Amino acid sequence: MTRVAVASRSFSRHPVLRAEMQERYDNVTFNDAGLSLAGDALVDFLAGHDRAITALERLDETVLSRLPELKVVGKYGVGLDMIDLPAMSRLGKKLGWTGGVNRRSVSELVISAAIALLRHVPQGNALVRGGQWRQLMGRQLSERTVGIVGCGHVGKDLAVLLKAFGCRVLAHDLKNFPDFYAAHGIEPMGLDELLAASDIVTLHLPLDSSTRDILPAGRLALMRSDAILINMARGGLVDEAALKAMLADGRLAGAAFDVFAEEPPTDLDLLRLPNMLALPHIGGSAEEAVLAMGRAAIAGLDNARDPLDFKGQGG
């Protein structure tokens, strides 16, 4: 009999996903205690199971090597930075993962954040709540130049949506997508050139050795003082200390981050800046996206592949 463990807390308490898992498998262990599982606790929870669904739980070589019975992992969510893919492959375990299933949820959040910062929505809300009443002059998203760094599932979806606003869309990616760029009037260019040319820069990259700290202080300095930086992808892509200094000094107009190098973030000086819109990693937290991610994880238990097939992906 196949035994399946669902380590994810949010999956375990979702009534629809829970019911669909129980329809497919007779022996399922859910994380009903709502524990944040890591290290020994994660090993204990997964031990004795043939398959598992994980989300933000870290599956490194130490954990995976202690789970000889575990053969398949279905990934709930689109990020792969919590899984040691080479180690998983070496140990003969397979991965079920589908990229981009939450792309519209993330794309819409990017657009909402861009408009909120351009129109000073957080500052305006704070003024009214504080008993003040005065107009704040902002800018429209329409006709702005938006630079998309990472033109994968989310980046492509966002590019199409931005065209409805009449935006000039720039794109930077290690891969080339000439047919997509031509079909939607998107301009590919180098990263430094994109940073200098954009009113809004939005990041849509996986986190790996090639992308970690891809925007250090020197690169951030290439952005215009009236520009906005959005990161709804992964923490660790941006030098957050340099970002804080630029926002505080007026060298950058605003930033919206849904992800941070440390979560939850502890730098309250950064989080409390009036031109910093900080969110608690809600990019995929739309009802439609949660169902899509959960169903993809369930399907992945039966359609798993060598983890190295997904190396360099995520998002």
Tens digit of each residue's pLDDT (9 = 90 or more) over 215-225: 999 999 999 99
pLDDT of residue 313: 75
pLDDT-based confidence at residue 68 (cuts at 50, 70, 90):
very high
pLDDT of residue 167: 98
Residue 285 φ/ψ, nearest 5 degrees = -90, 55
The Cβ of residue 314 has, within 10 Å, a number of other Cβ atoms equal to: 25
Identify whether residues 60 and 205 lie together within a single domain.
Answer: no
- Which one is predicted more confidently, 101 or 311? 101
pLDDT of residue 26: 93
The Cβ of residue 80 has, within 10 Å, a number of other Cβ atoms equal to: 22
pLDDT of residue 207: 87
The total domain count for the chain is 2
Mean pLDDT of 176-198: 97
Query: What predicted TM-score, i.e. pTM, was given to this entire model?
Result: 0.89
pLDDT-based confidence at residue 314 (cuts at 50, 70, 90):
low
Identify whether residues 187 and 96 lie together within a single domain.
Answer: no
Confirm whether 263 is a catalytic residue: yes
Is residue 50 within 8 A of residue 3, CB to CB? The reply is: yes
Identify whether residues 125 and 246 lie together within a single domain.
Answer: yes
Identify whether residues 29 and 144 lie together within a single domain.
Answer: no
Identify whether residues 294 and 257 lie together within a single domain.
Answer: no
Identify whether residues 176 and 255 lie together within a single domain.
Answer: yes
pLDDT-based confidence at residue 279 (cuts at 50, 70, 90):
very high
pLDDT greater than 90 at residue 61? yes
pLDDT of residue 310: 84
Mean pLDDT of 137-162: 97
- The answer to the question of residue 111 being in a domain is yes
Which range marks the domain in which residue 129 is found? 103-278
pLDDT-based confidence at residue 130 (cuts at 50, 70, 90):
very high
pLDDT of residue 254: 98
Q: Which of 57, 144, 234, 240 is catalytic?
A: 234
Confirm whether 204 is a catalytic residue: no
pLDDT greater than 70 at residue 281? yes
Mean pLDDT of 236-260: 98
Any idea what the CATH number is for the domain that residue 181 is in? 3.40.50.720
Identify whether residues 120 and 186 lie together within a single domain.
Answer: yes
- State the chain's mean pLDDT as an integer: 95
pLDDT of residue 209: 87
Q: Pick the closest to residue 234 from 214, 250, 252, 218 (CA basis).
A: 214
Identify whether residues 142 and 259 lie together within a single domain.
Answer: yes
pLDDT greater than 80 at residue 115? yes
pLDDT greater than 80 at residue 47? yes
pLDDT greater than 80 at residue 244? yes
Identify whether residues 217 and 122 lie together within a single domain.
Answer: yes
pLDDT of residue 108: 98
Q: List CB contacts of 302: < 8 A, sequence separation 6 or more.
A: 96
Residue 296: how many CA atoms within 13 Å on its side-chain side? 20
Q: Which of 69, 143, 262, 263 is catalytic?
A: 263
Residue 86 φ/ψ, nearest 5 degrees = -60, -40
- The answer to the question of residue 314 being in a domain is no
pLDDT greater than 80 at residue 315? no
- The answer to the question of residue 188 being in a domain is yes
pLDDT of residue 311: 80
Lowest-pLDDT choice from 25-29, 78-82, 151-155, 216-220: 78-82
Q: Pick the closest to residue 235 from 262, 215, 195 (CA basis).
A: 262
Identify whether residues 165 and 78 lie together within a single domain.
Answer: no
Lowest-pLDDT choice from 38-47, 122-131, 203-212: 203-212
pLDDT of residue 79: 83
Is residue 239 within 8 A of residue 220, CB to CB? The reply is: yes
Confirm whether 14 is a catalytic residue: no
Q: Which of 281, 287, 295, 305 is catalytic?
A: 281
pLDDT of residue 106: 96
- Which one is predicted more confidently, 218 or 313? 218
Identify whether residues 96 and 120 lie together within a single domain.
Answer: no
